[in-house]
Amino acid sequence: MTVARAVRAAFCLLLAILATTWPGTAAFAHGLPDSTYYRSVITAIEPPVPGLVLAVTKAGESVTLTNHTGETVVVIGYAGEDYLRITPAGVDENIASLSSSLNGSLIIEGLPQKQEQPNQQRPKWRHVSDHPAFTWHDHRIHWMASQRPPVVAADPHHAHKVFAWKIPLTVNAEPVTVHGELDWKGLPGLTTFVIVLIALAGTVGVAMAVAIAVTMRKEYLATRAQADRADVRD
């Protein structure tokens, strides 16, 4: 490696680091806008049900429900329809439901308003798992638009509550509600970013210096070896 190539490699490394650390560039790192800076959490399950376990990813990309209740758990969809049926024998998905069709995309314009009466279309169940646990994408627990919420857009560097959310279920035909909250954690301040940038620049600088020193030593040894061979011929 020549000195010029070593410098170019170090420069490319610095650009790559900047691209992954500059605030805002991670907007679509996980498929959702600004996903690094959102946090979605479950705050309550009412009423509590022994053996019913739910978890969400930090930014709200997905929900995992594990059913150890011994009963049938039904996840209610966006339009009040039966979306998932989770029993001790496994999981069935209503592929005729609105939720099934919408959950294939991370970003949509908005959810339909819940109807006064549940969707009367006959469910079309498809068996999707032999285990009593399932993970699905749920638009109710994350920010869906490509633009930031107004409160975040006005002050992105501080933490904010974006909205409270809920997912209705039934357990053995009894209603259960999962409550949660989506928060904005806040962008890192400029001072913090500058400190990180200086540290990264120093790391890259050391790497450049090492690469240049190694290259110069190789060139010196090659020149020395050539001179020694010339002395032997003489």
Yes or no: say if 92 and 50 are a contact pair by the CB < 8 Å rule. no
- pLDDT, tens digit, for every residue of 33-74? 688 899 999 999 999 999 999 999 877 889 999 999 999 999
The pLDDT value given to residue 25: 39
The pLDDT value given to residue 29: 38
On the CB side of 126, CA atoms within 13 Å amount to: 7
Yes or no: say if 216 and 3 are a contact pair by the CB < 8 Å rule. yes
- pLDDT, tens digit, for every residue of 77-108? 999 999 999 999 999 999 999 999 888 755 55
Helix or strand (DSSP H, E) at 198? helix 190-233
pTM for this predicted structure: 0.65
Burial 198-211 (b: 16+ CB within 10 A, else e): eeeeeebeeebeeb
Residues ≥6 apart with Cβ < 8 Å to 231 = none
Distance between CA 111 and CA 144 in Å, rounded?
9
